[in-house]
């Protein structure tokens, strides 16, 4: 295909060469990459370049304009600067002055916040026709008055949808006096709209067609009758209206075609009066009006003399379709939208209906009324999906925001209504949202990404998003220079990364690098984008393979930077969680060590354990727990004050969540592997804190508290503290009652350590009378403890099978008993040479119960498949354990269980010895 390039525009100057060349384009009009590289873009026709500029946001336009003189001139073309959307930018006086040279032909402006409103006058855009401001609760009468005075050509002014509580009737009077060409005025949350303000609009704005005075406390009802030119009026959410007067006045407005009284206290009788008395009224909105809905009969026919009533009780699509003279379907709106030539008066009505619907449905979604569940599933969802396809960008945005809102049940706990989410999915809503996310309009991108993010909490929706390319789209949006877009895209990746099946796809789409870059890109005042990025990285880091990619992308430095310098609790929580997950894969990569080597990482995590926010303490303790598995990190945590911090946390968290209790005890468990740390924990009061946690009703807390007490009990001084602080009854309770086998196992080991005889000498120190009391007390406590240790060990043996083991030592019987006795989680434990020596000593010198307990423990540590089984077998070989185990197995006086478990351990040792020799010989 050959395409002739058109002649360049003359405004570039007489000396510019006129290009009239051919360009070969193949593959159905798509340029090959080689062809694209060879193109001299400055030789393209001016109108083509201008068209390319129109698809770029303002930032990218400026970047492209700076590349050459040709693009600088074309980038300043008036048609590219007829509208500005400044909502996502820091728009101040300096920014306004820099744009003023390009704003002479500006027609439409959207901004966010009162600070941006103050800067509008510095644009010098005297020809502005439309101004729309979002989230302006602090905008004042003075600001609005100055804007109105500087823009006398204004035809449309919209401030909302949030309340503008600092605006009064004075601002409305200023608008009326300064903007005689005003056609549309939409204000939200003006406390009181007086008679003088409404009369000023009626007197000075002869072209006024649409007025919306929403969410107001008071509006003068009688004065509304003077708005004789108005065709569309919204009083939605307005309180304290006297409907007797209002219905009479409004029904007499000569040109009123559309009236919105949604979210008011209007009753059925006044609705009937409006329908009966109004001659030109065609559409009456009564959405979410509790008084009316309590009185109305769902089977009522609302059409009266060509008028339609739109409520949650009827079929809104069907009612709107009755506006069309040739309506052949219950939903004529898609057909109407497809028409190239449409009736102008009907076009205005339908566009107003879409605007009211988008605004009202968003408000209804924000209120989250349970009684509207049926409405949302039956027609509300389809209404929002229809609005996504509107020709009006603000309607599309608000519909996407409503979809993001109506699906959420509990924002704090990320709980959504799965029935509503699946209704969106089943009606093609995910594809519509992804199409909007690919738009060149950043407002649509951010709201569509927010909706996708919230809907993706549902696993079925998340699967659909992934299947139709949503992950690639979100990863691309996460690279946006627009903070709002990047923030919502990161939120989408955060929710999608919950699913294990999506983690790899996010990595393949470049999502990990994009998320890490977000942390470096945005300053620490942007908590939303940083929290979402860190949260997504935390989920991805939980996967072994992805955790390596997360670290390689520079996430360790980025996350440490957040925990060190960011003061937002949500960011701190997610960054600490991400570091905890990165550190959890110590056996498969070096992330754990890498975090410890990052300057200030451990100190920052220790500091976060003092946070006032429980979630931050929870994740910081979890990170320290995981980091403590590395020897160097363990000592660094202690050096950074981690022992004092974690003991303090354990002392203060008895009434906190079970997750925090588990992690506080777990971190102390990890630190107590070191003998020096164990002694320090005991001296700082850690024993009493852990005993308190051991009394928890949660099995996970039992595990970590018992594990920490087991380590602490290795030291005789700590063992005595455990007895004196009442720890034995707590350990006995866990050993007997806990739902966790692992917790029962470690409680038994802790009790065995306490009463293996090493503590006796310390306990006897003191006056003779005290010594006698201690001796008696210890004997009682010891007898009780040994009884429960015996019961625990015996619960893992079957006399019939065990007898076969003792007599025959048959491999099948050995395996059968071993599998029945195995506690899988115990295979994760790693004992030091000293601890292994302790168990061997129990086999040699102690009571029959401790012999059985020791043999049972060694069985757990040497089971094939255990993470550290080879390590433990080597230590046992070095300690001469096989000889002692054989002696126990052959002993006539050894308890039955000790013989059985000793035989299994011998078999395990021989098995590993054979495997090791085979590997060496091979």
Report the 3 state secondary structure along 281-314.
Answer: CCEEECCCCHHHHHHCCCCCCCCECCEEEECCCC
More confident call, 880 vs 23: 880
- Residues with Cβ < 8 Å from 849, sequence gap 6 or more? 786, 789, 790, 793, 895
Identify any residues that bridge with 408 across adjacent strands, giving them in sequence order.
416
My answer on whether 725 and 800 are in the same domain is no
Q: Give the end of a domain, one of 80, 101, 124.
A: 80
Q: Is it the case that residue 917 has pLDDT exceeding 50? A: no
- Residues 147 and 167: their CA atoms lie apart, in Å, by 13
Mean pLDDT of 566-590: 92
Terminal CA-CA length for the chain? 67
Query: Is residue 349 situated within a structural domain?
Result: no
- Report angle CA 525, 528, 534 to the nearest 5 degrees: 100
| CATH code of the domain containing 750 | 1.25.10.10
Torsion angle, CA of 823/825/826/830, rounded to 10 degrees?
160
Q: Highest mean pLDDT: which of 105-119, 171-185, 772-786, 800-814?
A: 171-185
Q: Is it the case that residue 7 has pLDDT exceeding 50? A: no
pLDDT at residue 73, rounded to an integer:
81
- Residues 638 and 503: their CA atoms lie apart, in Å, by 35
pLDDT at residue 815, rounded to an integer:
81
Share of the chain above pLDDT 70, in %: 89
Q: Could you give the 3-state DSSP secondary structure of residue 212?
A: strand
Query: Is residue 184 situated within a structural domain?
Result: no
Q: Is it the case that residue 787 has pLDDT exceeding 80? A: yes
- Give the sign of the dihedral formed by CA 500, CA 502, CA 505, CA 507: negative
- Whether the CB-CB separation of 706 and 746 falls below 8 Å is answered with yes
Least confident of 7-16, 66-75, 130-139, 353-362: 7-16
pLDDT at residue 31, rounded to an integer:
43
Strands (E), 5-95: 22-24, 83-85
My answer on whether 835 and 742 are in the same domain is no
Query: Is residue 668 situated within a structural domain?
Result: yes
pLDDT band at 808 (very low <50, low <70, confident <90, very high): low
Q: Domain span at residue 820?
A: 796-921
My answer on whether 800 and 892 are in the same domain is yes
- Residues with Cβ < 8 Å from 846, sequence gap 6 or more? 756, 757, 854
- Residues with Cβ < 8 Å from 628, sequence gap 6 or more? 634, 637, 667, 670, 671, 673
For residue 259, report the phi and psi dihedrals to the nearest 5 degrees.
Answer: -135, 130
DSSP letter (8 states) at residue 458 = S
- Residues with Cβ < 8 Å from 594, sequence gap 6 or more? 551, 556
pLDDT at residue 329, rounded to an integer:
65
Among residues 524, 525, 529, which one has the least CA distance to residue 514? Answer: 529
Q: Give the end of a domain, one of 781, 808, 843.
A: 781
Q: Is it the case that residue 22 has pLDDT exceeding 60? A: no
pLDDT at residue 301, rounded to an integer:
45
- Residues 29 and 524: their CA atoms lie apart, in Å, by 46
C-alpha count within 13 angstroms, C-beta hemisphere, residue 87: 25
- Whether the CB-CB separation of 145 and 174 falls below 8 Å is answered with yes
- Whether the CB-CB separation of 842 and 851 falls below 8 Å is answered with yes
Among residues 3, 88, 95, which one has the least CA distance to residue 44? Answer: 3
My answer on whether 683 and 739 are in the same domain is yes
Query: Is residue 719 situated within a structural domain?
Result: yes
Identify any residues that bridge with 260 across adjacent strands, giving them in sequence order.
234, 285
Query: Is residue 403 situated within a structural domain?
Result: no
pLDDT band at 328 (very low <50, low <70, confident <90, very high): low
- Whether the CB-CB separation of 119 and 125 falls below 8 Å is answered with no
Q: Is it the case that residue 919 has pLDDT exceeding 90? A: no
pLDDT band at 912 (very low <50, low <70, confident <90, very high): low
My answer on whether 700 and 748 are in the same domain is yes
Query: Is residue 751 situated within a structural domain?
Result: yes
My answer on whether 801 and 729 are in the same domain is no
pLDDT at residue 94, rounded to an integer:
87
My answer on whether 723 and 808 are in the same domain is no
- Residues 540 and 546: their CA atoms lie apart, in Å, by 6
pLDDT band at 76 (very low <50, low <70, confident <90, very high): confident
My answer on whether 808 and 777 are in the same domain is no
Query: Is residue 878 situated within a structural domain?
Result: yes
Q: Rg of the chain's alpha carbons, rounded to an integer? A: 37
pLDDT at residue 756, rounded to an integer:
86
Residue in this structure with the two tokens 């396809």, named with its chain if needed = 389
Residue-wise pLDDT for 375-418, tens only, equals 998 999 999 999 999 999 999 999 999 999 999 988 777 789 99
Q: Is it the case that residue 766 has pLDDT exceeding 70? A: no
Q: Give the end of a domain, one of 781, 813, 835.
A: 781
Query: Is residue 392 situated within a structural domain?
Result: no
My answer on whether 668 and 730 are in the same domain is yes
pLDDT at residue 890, rounded to an integer:
85
Q: How many domains does the chain have?
A: 3
- Residues 598 and 620: their CA atoms lie apart, in Å, by 16
My answer on whether 881 and 911 are in the same domain is yes
My answer on whether 806 and 900 are in the same domain is yes
My answer on whether 754 and 708 are in the same domain is yes
Residue-wise pLDDT for 680-690, tens only, equals 999 999 999 99
Supply the mean pLDDT for the chain: 87
Q: Is it the case that residue 653 has pLDDT exceeding 50? A: yes
Mean pLDDT of 52-75: 79
Q: Kindly report the pTM of this predicted structure.
A: 0.86
| CATH code of the domain containing 62 | 1.20.1280
């Amino acid at each position: 295909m050959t395409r002739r390039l058109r002649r360049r525009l003359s405004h570039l100057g007489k000396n510019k060469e006129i290009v009239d060349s051919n360009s070969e384009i193949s593959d159905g009009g798509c340029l090959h990459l080689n062809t694209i590289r060879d193109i001299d873009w400055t030789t393209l026709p001016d109108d083509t370049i201008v068209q390319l500029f129109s698809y770029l946001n303002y930032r990218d336009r400026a970047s492209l304009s700076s590349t050459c003189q040709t693009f600088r001139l074309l980038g300043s073309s008036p048609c590219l600067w007829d509208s500005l959307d400044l909502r996502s930018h820091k728009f101040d006086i300096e920014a306004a002055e820099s744009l003023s040279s390009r704003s002479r032909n500006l027609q439409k402006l959207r901004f966010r916040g009162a600070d941006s409103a103050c800067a509008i006058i510095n644009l010098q855009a005297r020809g502005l026709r439309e101004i729309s401001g979002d989230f302006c609760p602090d905008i004042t009468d003075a600001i609005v008055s100055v804007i109105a005075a500087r823009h006398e050509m204004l035809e449309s002014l919209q401030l909302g949808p949030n309340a503008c509580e600092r605006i009064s009737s004075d601002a409305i009077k200023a608008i009326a006096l300064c903007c005689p060409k005003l056609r549309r005025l939409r204000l939200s949350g003006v406390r009181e709209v007086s008679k003088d303000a409404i009369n000023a609009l009626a007197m000075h704005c002869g072209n006024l067609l649409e007025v919306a005075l929403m969410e107001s406390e008071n509006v003068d009802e009688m004065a509304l009758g003077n708005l004789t030119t108005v065709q569309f009026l919204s009083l939605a959410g307005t309180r304290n209206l006297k409907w007797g007067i209002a219905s009479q006045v409004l029904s007499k407005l000569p040109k009123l075609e559309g009236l919105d009284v949604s979210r008011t206290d209007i009753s059925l009788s006044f609705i009937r009066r409006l329908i009966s008395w109004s001659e030109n009224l065609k559409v009456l909105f009564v959405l979410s009006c509790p008084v009316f809905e309590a009185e109305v009969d769902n089977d009522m026919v609302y059409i009266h003399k060509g008028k339609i009533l739109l409520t949650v009780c009827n079929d809104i699509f069907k009612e709107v379709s009755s506006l069309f003279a040739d309506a052949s379907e219950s939903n004529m709106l898609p057909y109407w939208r497809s028409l190239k030539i449409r009736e102008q008066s009907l076009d205005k009505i339908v566009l107003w209906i879409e605007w009211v619907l988008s605004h009202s449905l968003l408000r209804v979604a924000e209120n989250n009324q349970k009684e509207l569940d049926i409405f949302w599933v039956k027609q509300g969802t389809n209404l929002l999906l229809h609005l996504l396809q509107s020709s009006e960008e603000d309607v599309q945005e608000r519909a996407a925001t409503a979809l993001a809102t109506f699906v959420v049940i509990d924002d704090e706990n990320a709980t959504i209504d799965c029935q509503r989410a699946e209704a969106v999915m089943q009606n093609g809503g995910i594809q519509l949202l992804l199409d909007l996310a690919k738009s060149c309009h950043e407002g649509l991108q951010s709201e569509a990404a927010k909706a996708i993010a919230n809907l993706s909490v549902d696993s079925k929706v998340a699967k659909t998003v992934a299947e139709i390319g949503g992950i690639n789209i979100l990863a691309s949006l996460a690279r946006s220079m627009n903070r709002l877009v990047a923030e919502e895209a990161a939120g989408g990746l955060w929710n999608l990364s919950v699913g294990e099946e999506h983690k790899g796809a996010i990595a393949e789409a470049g999502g990990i690098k994009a998320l890490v870059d977000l942390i470096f890109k945005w300053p620490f005042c942007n908590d939303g984008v940083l929290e979402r990025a860190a949260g997504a990285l935390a989920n991805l880091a939980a996967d072994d393979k992805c955790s390596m990619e997360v670290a390689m992308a520079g996430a360790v430095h980025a996350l440490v930077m957040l925990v060190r310098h960011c003061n937002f609790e949500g960011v701190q929580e997610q960054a600490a969680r991400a570091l905890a997950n990165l550190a959890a894969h110590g056996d498969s990569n070096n992330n754990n060590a890498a975090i410890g080597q990052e300057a200030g990482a451990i100190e920052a995590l220790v500091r976060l354990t003092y946070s006032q926010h429980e979630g931050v303490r929870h994740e910081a303790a979890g990170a320290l727990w995981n980091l403590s598995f590395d020897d160097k990190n363990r000592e660094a945590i202690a050096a950074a004050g981690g022992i004092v911090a974690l003991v303090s946390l354990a002392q203060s968290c008895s009434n906190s969540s079970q997750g925090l209790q588990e992690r506080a005890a777990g971190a102390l468990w990890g630190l107590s592997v070191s003998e020096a740390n164990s002694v320090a924990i005991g001296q700082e009061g850690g024993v009493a804190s852990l005993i308190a946690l051991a009394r928890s009703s949660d099995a996970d807390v039992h595990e970590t508290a018992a594990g920490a007490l087991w380590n602490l009990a290795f030291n005789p001084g700590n063992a005595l503290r455990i007895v004196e602080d009442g720890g034995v009854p707590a350990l006995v309770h866990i050993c007997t009652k806990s739902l966790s086998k692992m917790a029962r196992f470690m409680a038994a080991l802790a009790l065995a350590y306490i009463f293996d005889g090493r503590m006796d000498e310390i306990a006897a120190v003191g006056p003779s009378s005290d010594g006698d009391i201690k001796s008696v007390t210890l004997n009682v406590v010891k007898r009780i403890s040994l009884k429960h240790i015996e019961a625990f060990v015996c619960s893992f043996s079957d006399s019939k099978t065990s007898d076969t083991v003792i007599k025959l030592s048959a491999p099948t019987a050995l395996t059968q008993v071993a599998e029945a006795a195995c506690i899988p989680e115990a295979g994760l434990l790693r004992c030091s040479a000293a601890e292994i020596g302790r168990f061997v000593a129990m086999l040699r010198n102690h009571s029959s119960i401790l012999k059985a307990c020791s043999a049972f423990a060694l069985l757990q540590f040497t089971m094939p498949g255990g993470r550290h089984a080879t390590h433990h077998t080597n230590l046992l070989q070095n300690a001469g354990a096989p000889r002692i185990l054989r002696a126990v197995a052959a002993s006539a006086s050894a308890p039955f269980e000790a013989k059985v478990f000793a035989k299994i351990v011998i078999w395990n040792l021989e098995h590993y010895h054979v495997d090791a020799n085979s590997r060496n010989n091979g």
